[in-house]
Chains A and B, each alone.
Chain A
């Protein structure tokens, strides 16, 4: 075991995969000397050379499209968008090309590419650099969507994403990069579609992922003080979804809350809520609750930004309401 930050863990995971397989290449802006704005690819240019660490001009649409072409030719490109918000200028190669190519060719090719992108609020990056867009990606058939929270998970999941034969969107919360935890020294690969029960509890299931996992765990500690035992599940991957773990927990607690940083309307919580109601209605003691981002643009000013995404007290209040807690 060694103590690593999430950014170190992603770096190590990618480095191991690049050493293991010459077909793994990196494509994106400022990946070279700078090692990207979050220093994730620091040292890669020296170790792997400019043939495999491809530092591009600011041309997201085409370098993402080029990754699709390279993947069709057998490469395993890892594309980096500087922020997930920039998908707006590179959506065609992701949505219409990468996601569909295997299907439209009748299975002639797979597109083993990973699109990595930092996401999330809390850094005062304002409207175009702060969103959580995972719901947008989960709506597109053909894509897998991964959102790790811990360093150990980030390392294991970037490795399994690179090894996956389908396009994977790998979303990294910017405020998790510096968070440290224990990462095993031996090689770890977690299959996509496996959730983690971060805290066991009998009263309510909290489904969440990425940075909100930590908020939910903190909320669970608060709730424990008043006798409410929340089970916190880190979904880790949104597509594929670990339905078995969700179902087992809901059948145990009979109450569910989805906590997400992204905006509520059309969010992952809406989808999970619908699935749970469709299949587990008889298990529920109360409607599925959602604690999510407000349906507004990410504001710049700190007090405004803090008001738009969920905090520990929002989760605590939501759980109390769902369980009709009076006290």
Chain B
């Protein structure tokens, strides 16, 4: 788990560096500070299980099995990326790994995850679907609609809320009247739990319990992970709308630092930890080299993978 936390942190840090240097097009949303939720939750899943992710989804997808080189190539819009450069940061996916896609629409992954869980129920198969979403998505209609149906039909899905306390610039407590998101589970008569999202072991234990519940046919749960978004909403957003105390608190609670201390106190040596850090630095550097040296997609492939029968006639002449 430590390795994956460092892998995600270094991936995001490198992506931010590339973005700042103008090497990445579009925009990216970084999950620095939230690594423990992605890592702890994924650790509780099996290879056969599915996830849906969000606009802040690099960490979720890497923890579910994306290779960092092909993921970085997708961020670069290169042909060697997971989606051949057609998806980019916000739509990265590898369905064969159970990743049903990041998503650029807040709240849109919730019904997709629920539909995946419905499929497992119809087919009578044992995989579960874990749905990552943010605190702000919980105020979208799809949250209520989907969780209501998942609860009514006991679908094998885990609704994992990453509560980083901000929806772009708006503090969640200014637009929500409950202290937690998980308390809403009561309304659907399903389990709901709020955990310290920067404690990777706490996340793992809570999700493991919810996965067991779902796999046993007992239906969905809400697991809310309280965490911090170190960066702005998107890379380049200075996040001046937040008080300085937010970032101080976030850094004091940094999930990787905390887990490192825990490991050191559990007879893991400094050398072993440093070796992991160095291996991850090397992996991400290689991922960057791979992405940078990969070719862009051929413009002639622009109309592939979409129904486009009449494009020959629709191009401007």
Contacts and interface: CB of A to CB of B under 8 A. Distances in A.
B142 A61 contact: yes
Interface range, B side = 35 or more
Nearest to A102: B305
Contact of B108 (A63, A97, A240, A279): A97
Contacts of A77: 115
B114 A69 contact: yes
8 smallest CB-CB distances across A and B, nearest first, come from A69-B115, A65-B111, A66-B115, A62-B145, A106-B83, A59-B145, A106-B84, A69-B112
Given A69-B116, A70-B119, A70-B122, 6 more contacts: A52-B122, A54-B118, A65-B114, A72-B100, A104-B87, A106-B83
A106 B95 contact: no
Given A92-B108, A105-B87, A142 B306 contact: yes
A132 B42 CA distance: 46
Contacts of B304: 107
Interface in B62-90: 81-87
B158 interface: no
A223 interface: no
A96 interface: yes
Contacts of B310: 240-241, 243
A69 B93 CA distance: 13
A40 B129 CA distance: 32
Interface centre among B52, B87, B152 (most CB of A within 10 A): B87
A193 interface: yes
Interface of B: 50, 52, 81-87, 91, 93-96, 100-101, 103-105, 108, 110-122, 129, 141-142, 145-146, 148-149, 152, 304-310, 313, 317
B149 A106 contact: no
A201 to B, nearest CB: 26
B112 A65 contact: yes
9 contacts: A65-B146, A67-B115, A68-B115, A69-B52, A73-B116, A105-B87, A105-B101, A143-B307, A144-B307
B131 to A, nearest CB: 10
A48 to B, nearest CB: 11
Contact of A96 (B84, B105, B114, B117): B105
Given A103-B86, A142-B307, A193-B309, A73 B119 contact: yes
A105 B116 contact: no
A93 interface: yes
Contacts of A62: 110-111, 114, 141-142, 145-146, 149
A56 interface: yes
Nearest to B129: A69
Contact of B149 (A59, A101, A144, A166): A59
A105 B95 contact: yes
A172 B306 CA distance: 25
A56 B114 CA distance: 13
A65 B84 contact: no
Given A72-B95, A96-B105, A106 B309 contact: no
A138 to B, nearest CB: 11
B112 A72 contact: yes
A57 interface: yes
A81 interface: no
A109 interface: yes
Contacts of A96: 104-105, 108
Contacts of A103: 86, 305-306
B313 A57 contact: no
A81 to B, nearest CB: 14
A75 B94 CA distance: 18
A92 B313 CA distance: 28
Contacts of A144: 307
Contacts of B95: 72, 105, 108-109
A110 to B, nearest CB: 9
Contacts of A57: 145, 148-149, 152
